[in-house]
Amino acid sequence: MLRRVGILLDRIRYRINKNRLSRDLCCGYKPNALGQVDEAMLSHMIDFTGLNRGYIESCVCRRPGYTYADEFLTRTPQDHAEIEWFYVTSEKYIFGNIIHRPWAMISEMIVGGSVLDYGAGTGTDILSLARKGYEAYYFDINLVQREFVQFACEREGLSVTFIRPYFKGKFDPIRCIQGTFDAIITRSVLEHVHYYSDLIKHLASCLNPDGLFFEASRFGESGKDPMHLEEDRPIPEIMAYCGMKLVRDEFPHRCWRKKVSG
């Protein structure tokens, strides 16, 4: 019953925010955004898509009609499953993520071992770590972005393990993550996931003792991005339940360490 009520409330929230989404994102033109894109990644993007630089610039700079927000408005997903399917099949989301630069906190704190980038998008962070020789694991449900990162790895000769969102023959973005890792990254991910509490618990269980959990989450910013969910349960509370200790806080960028039992 509570689950059905939650789904209904989400439907209402997405409908209410539809016009706000158009105003804040579709018309949020950012003329200098292309300058934030790493030239190597831009080169990969041009060759991967076959698109000219001008079209890619229009998408990256959020010209009206070229953004993932326009795509979202056209498709108007109505519930959790449809919203998730939008993230799986979006053709424009890749252009919103390509502007990300490597997260400095990660390179400063990770000292080796295996690293899972969950919701890795265009692979900015995991590609950076793979270039340094880390045991790198990539996960994202978006088909286009996963193909792009595989393309980039082939071009650069990088070794990255790709995890697909299936468990026992069914779509399951939580339990598809198996094994253990020395560090896990969730950058701008949790605020898009309605089951984020269960996801954190599962990912924490996949961390080795003393492992690091990096997260950057902007919940409740529907005025800036109505595709962001509200925070039903505070992240610190969930992390504490999972035996995680906050070791670096530059909100919204935070790093948690898994306590060693005993």
* CA–CA gap between residue 56 and residue 230 (Å, rounded): 31
Instruction: Find tokens 């979006």 and name the residue.
Output: 90
Q: What are phi and psi of 178, to 5 degrees?
A: -125, 165
pLDDT digits (tens, 9 = 90+) for 23-39: 344 446 677 787 788 88
Token pair in block for residue 135: 């045991």
Q: What are phi and psi of 224, to 5 degrees?
A: -95, -35
pLDDT digits (tens, 9 = 90+) for 216-241: 998 876 556 667 888 889 999 999 99
Token pair in block for residue 222: 């529907």
pLDDT digits (tens, 9 = 90+) for 63-118: 888 888 889 889 999 899 999 999 999 999 999 899 889 999 999 999 899 999 99
The domain ranges of the chain are 2-97, 104-258
Q: Report yes or no: 223 and 20 within 8 Å, Cβ to Cβ.
A: yes
C-alpha pair distances (Å), 139 with each of 13, 44, 48, 153, 163: 28, 19, 19, 14, 5
5: enclosing H helix or E strand: helix 2-16
Q: What are phi and psi of 110, to 5 degrees?
A: -80, 130
* CA–CA gap between residue 144 and residue 252 (Å, rounded): 27
Q: How many CB atoms lie within 10 A of CB 79?
A: 15
Burial of 92-114, coded b for 16+ CB within 10 Å and e otherwise, reads ebbbbbbbbeebebbeeebeeeb
Instruction: Could you please state the CATH topology (level 3) that the domain comprising 104-258 is classified under.
Output: Rossmann fold (3.40.50)
Average pLDDT, the chain: 87
| Residue among 123, 142, 62, 140 at smallest CA distance from 96 | 62
pLDDT digits (tens, 9 = 90+) for 114-124: 999 999 999 99
pLDDT digits (tens, 9 = 90+) for 164-197: 999 999 999 999 999 999 999 999 999 999 999 9
Expressed in angstroms, the distance from the first to the final Cα of the chain is 40
% of the chain exceeding 90 in pLDDT = 66
